[in-house]
């Protein structure tokens, strides 16, 4: 299984896991405001869900490897450091890049995120 295939499956599992299991105890409207909703099952497996884009984004962010987020910060820092020609703007860009690189180091210094259910079963 390639890294991309593995990540794709982890993201899909995270979205499934974020869907209400029907036992949240909240009224339907309140639950739908807070959670991805199950919509259809195929052979006993949740196959179709619905929800706000932000709910999916939150579910996906929870499983993205932290190293990838640090890489995104570094890429942004590299671009910011060279984005401006004007000396004053360039100075501010370099300060911003320095901040982004510090955030990348802080992210990498954090312990790894919680294992997914699949990882825990391995
Ligand atoms: Zn619910």
H/E/C letters for each residue in the chain? CCHHHHHHHHHHHHHHHHECCCCCCCCHHHHHHHCEEEEEEECCEEEEEECCHHHHHHHHHCCCCHHHHHHHHHHHHHHHHHCCCCHHHHHHHHHHHHHHHHHHHHHHHCCCCCCCHHHHHC
- How much distance in Å is there from the Cα of 7 to the middle of ligand 1? 26
Per-residue pLDDT of the chain (122 residues; tens, 9 = 90+): 578 888 899 999 999 999 999 999 999 999 999 999 999 999 999 999 999 999 999 999 888 776 678 898 999 999 999 888 888 889 999 999 999 999 999 988 987 655 444 444 44
Asked if residue 33 and residue 84 are part of one domain, the reply reads no
Number of domains in the chain: 2
- How much distance in Å is there from the Cα of 9 to the middle of ligand 1? 23
- How much distance in Å is there from the Cα of 36 to the middle of ligand 1? 9
Asked if residue 81 and residue 105 are part of one domain, the reply reads yes
Asked if residue 72 and residue 56 are part of one domain, the reply reads no
Q: Which residue segment(s) compose the domain that 21 sits in?
A: 3-63
Asked if residue 36 and residue 15 are part of one domain, the reply reads yes
Asked if residue 57 and residue 7 are part of one domain, the reply reads yes
Cut 0.95: pTM above it? no
Asked if residue 35 and residue 84 are part of one domain, the reply reads no
Asked if residue 72 and residue 40 are part of one domain, the reply reads no
């Amino acid at each position: 299984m390639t890294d991309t295939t593995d990540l794709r499956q982890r993201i899909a599992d995270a979205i499934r896991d974020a869907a209400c299991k029907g036992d949240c105890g909240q009224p339907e409207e309140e639950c739908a405001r807070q959670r991805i909703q199950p919509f259809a099952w195929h052979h006993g497996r949740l196959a179709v869900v619905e929800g706000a884009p932000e709910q999916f984004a939150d579910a996906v962010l929870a499983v993205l490897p932290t190293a990838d987020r640090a890489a995104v910060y570094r890429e942004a820092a590299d671009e910011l450091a060279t984005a401006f020609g004007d000396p004053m703007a360039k100075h501010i860009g370099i300060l911003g890049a320095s901040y982004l690189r510090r955030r990348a180091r802080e992210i990498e210094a954090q312990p790894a995120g919680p294992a997914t259910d699949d990882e825990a079963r391995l």
